[in-house]
Amino acid sequence: MKPYDALAYLEADCLFARQSPALFLGVHAVEQHKVCDTGCARFDGGKCPAYLKLTIPSKPEAGQEPQETVRETAARLGISISEVRRRRRQTA
């Protein structure tokens, strides 16, 4: 598990952080910001809803299309991958 700041746990609705904040902050500091997989009772092998919110990437927001890969763009336009990269550098 990668480290998360205390606010990220609160935004993910971590029950441990909400029910006993002082204890949570102590564990958070001692375990280098990795609370879930270091002995939290609610972790349950990764089934905790807060853990899932922290670790599973969120979907793109409405109106925001996912980025097309270089290979997909090249196939769609019928050009080489290097040409796609060249065009992206020019527009960036």
Q: pLDDT (tens digit, 9 = 90+) per residue, 59-69?
A: 666 666 668 89
**pTM of the entire structure?**
0.59
Half-sphere exposure of 24 (CA within 13 A, CB side): 18
Give the separation between CA 84 and CA 70, rounded to whole angstroms. 6
Which residue has 């060249």 as its token pair?
86
Residue ranges covered by each domain of the chain: 6-55, 61-92
Q: Cα-flanking dihedrals φ and ψ of residue 90, to 5°?
A: -70, -35
Q: Convert the pLDDT of each residue in 38-90 to its tens digit.
A: 767 888 888 888 888 888 876 666 666 668 899 999 999 999 999 999 998 99
In eight-state DSSP terms, residue 56 is S
Give the separation between CA 64 and CA 57, rounded to whole angstroms. 15
Q: Would you say 36 and 43 are in contact if contact means Cβ atoms under 8 Å apart?
A: yes
